């Protein structure tokens, strides 16, 4: 009827559960520890997992967290323990377990739980990269420790980093299990009372301060004043420092000061390059688990090529490249040639050979600047604020420069 993975370090319990479930017509796979469970899960997705909490190598709660973080929690999981507490059961269900069985397990309770679990096959697959699955590099390891320390307080926090860093992944690492998470991108235009009610006890995240209009800034200021009363923490992200928000982007100075009581810098992908192969494999694994693409795996050469790429677009670009590879590779193994093809498609063509190097300096300089700004405008889809930020040129000067070079001025954005 169904394939059930039983994970328990006690041979007697494994054999007993196997016998009972086999009598019910199920196919049973046994694992004596977390390592064996990982291998069984990787080989084939079971219809149900019965997972012991206390095991000698890795405890069941940690394994459950690992599967959730890796996008592998695509089947119902029922936890088992003879030494459990209410707190442990609550934590397991918050992570994603369907139910909790206390040992010794009563036969009728086991059969009822298994039947109910097998009726709940539509387990949502996480399509979100989790910081919990990373941290091998010193820079991410240190950052996780700082975020864990800051998770205990409610002071507003500003994250700073390059565009494309997918700041939400880092913000969610601050979130307590089961606590609400509200994204302020749309919430800033909703009734404040409703937003605060939804964010109570959790986090209100503002993903891009540069994009806030004056009206949205006023709404955020209103929410910020009342957030503490609702035990909601405001966390924001900006690609520029607070002072530049005020001087160059028409941001309210008092609001900027309150939002930046605490500031944490996010490292670019280049600073934790050793994590890139694992990130790419995780993203690809989530796509396969979600059945968004055929079975795929990255070759060693492909992983090395991804690791040594510069990733100017950071995690967003890496995510887009892996998704492209997942959908366009012709074989199950994604080869180096596939990576080179997709990276080339995601990069601007190199036009340096077309520069008129035999011309006088002024004309050659203008030709280079024209190519440079054409590339930047294309890269940022014509956004003048983004081009100004990336090139380090004040926007008024940027407008004048583009007009002098005879280039079309990109789109203006409300700030």
Give tens-digit pLDDT for 19-46: 999 999 999 999 999 999 999 987 878 9
Please give the helix or strand (H or E) that residue 182 lies within, else none. strand 181-183
Please report where in the chains the tokens 């992908």 appear, as a residue: 269
Residues 46, 3: Cα–Cα separation, whole Å: 5
Average pLDDT of span 121-140 = 74
* Domain range 352-404, CATH class: mainly alpha
CA-nearest of 5, 45, 13 to 29 is 5
As given in the structure block, the two tokens for residue 405 are: 């070079």
Average pLDDT of span 114-126 = 71
Confidence of residue 286 (pLDDT cuts 50, 70, 90): confident
CATH level 3 topology of 131-267: Rossmann fold (3.40.50)
Phi, psi of 204 (to 5 degrees): -105, 115
* Domain range 270-345, CATH class: mainly alpha
As given in the structure block, the two tokens for residue 319 are: 């995510």
**H-only helix segments in 96-137:** 107-118
Cα angle value 97/51/291 (rounded, 5°)? 60
How much is the mean pLDDT over the chain? 86
DSSP 42-90: HH---SEEEEES--SSS-HHHHHHHHHHTT---S-EEEEESS--HHHHH
Average pLDDT of span 121-130 = 61
Fold agreement between 131-267 and 352-404 = no
Residues 280, 287: Cα–Cα separation, whole Å: 11
Other CB atoms within 10 Å distance of the CB of residue 58: 14
User: Which residues are bridge partners to 160 per DSSP?
Assistant: 238, 265
Residues 229, 14: Cα–Cα separation, whole Å: 50
CA-nearest of 248, 245, 177, 243 to 206 is 245
In whole angstroms, how far apart are CA 43 and each of 40, 52, 144, 159, 287? Answer: 5, 20, 31, 39, 16
Coil/strand/helix, residue 98: coil
Average pLDDT of span 60-87 = 81
CA-nearest of 167, 242, 249 to 212 is 249
* Domain range 3-118, CATH class: alpha beta
Average pLDDT of span 120-145 = 78
- Domain segments of the chain: what residues? 3-118, 131-267, 270-345, 352-404
| Amino acid 352: pLDDT | 45
Q: What is the pLDDT of residues 2-22, one digit of tens each?
A: 999 999 999 999 999 999 999
């Amino acid at each position: 009827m169904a394939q059930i993975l039983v994970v328990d370090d006690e041979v007697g319990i494994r054999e007993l559960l196997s016998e009972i479930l086999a009598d019910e017509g199920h196919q049973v796979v046994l694992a004596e520890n977390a390592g064996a469970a990982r291998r069984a899960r990787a080989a084939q997705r079971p219809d149900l997992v019965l997972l012991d909490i206390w095991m000698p190598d890795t405890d069941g709660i940690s394994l459950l967290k690992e599967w959730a973080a890796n996008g592998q929690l695509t089947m119902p999981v029922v936890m088992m323990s003879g030494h459990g507490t209410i707190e442990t059961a609550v934590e397991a269900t918050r992570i994603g377990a369907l139910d909790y069985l206390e040992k010794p397990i009563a036969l009728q309770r086991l059969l009822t739980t298994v039947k109910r679990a097998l009726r709940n096959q539509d387990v949502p697959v996480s399509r979100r990269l989790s910081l919990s699955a990373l941290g091998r590099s010193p820079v991410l390891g240190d950052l996780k420790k700082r975020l864990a320390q800051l998770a205990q307080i409610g002071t507003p926090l500003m994250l700073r980093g390059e565009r494309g860093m997918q700041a939400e992944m880092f913000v969610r690492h601050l979130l307590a299990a089961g606590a609400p998470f509200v994204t302020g991108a749309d919430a800033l235009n909703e009734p404040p009372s409703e937003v605060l009610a939804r964010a109570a006890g959790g986090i209100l995240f503002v993903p891009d301060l540069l994009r806030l209009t004056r009206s949205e800034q006023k709404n955020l200021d209103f929410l910020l004043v009342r957030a503490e009363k609702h035990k909601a923490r405001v966390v924001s992200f900006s690609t520029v420092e607070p002072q530049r928000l005020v001087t160059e982007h028409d941001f309210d100075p008092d609001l900027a000061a309150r939002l930046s009581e605490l500031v944490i810098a996010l490292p670019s992908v280049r600073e934790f390059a050793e994590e890139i192969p694992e990130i790419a494999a995780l993203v690809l694994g989530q796509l396969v688990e979600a059945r968004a693409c055929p079975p795929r795996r990255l070759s060693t050469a492909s992983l090395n090529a991804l690791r040594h790429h510069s990733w100017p677009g950071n995690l967003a670009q890496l995510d887009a490249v892996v998704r492209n590879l997942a959908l366009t590779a012709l074989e199950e193994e994604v080869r180096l040639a596939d990576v080179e093809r997709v990276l080339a498609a995601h990069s601007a063509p190199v036009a340096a050979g077309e520069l008129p190097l035999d011309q006088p300096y002024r004309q050659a300089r203008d030709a280079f600047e024209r190519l440079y700004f054409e590339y930047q405008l294309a890269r940022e889809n014509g956004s003048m604020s983004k081009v100004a930020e990336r090139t380090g040129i004040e926007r008024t000067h940027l407008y004048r420069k583009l007009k002098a070079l005879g280039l079309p001025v990109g789109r203006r954005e409300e700030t």
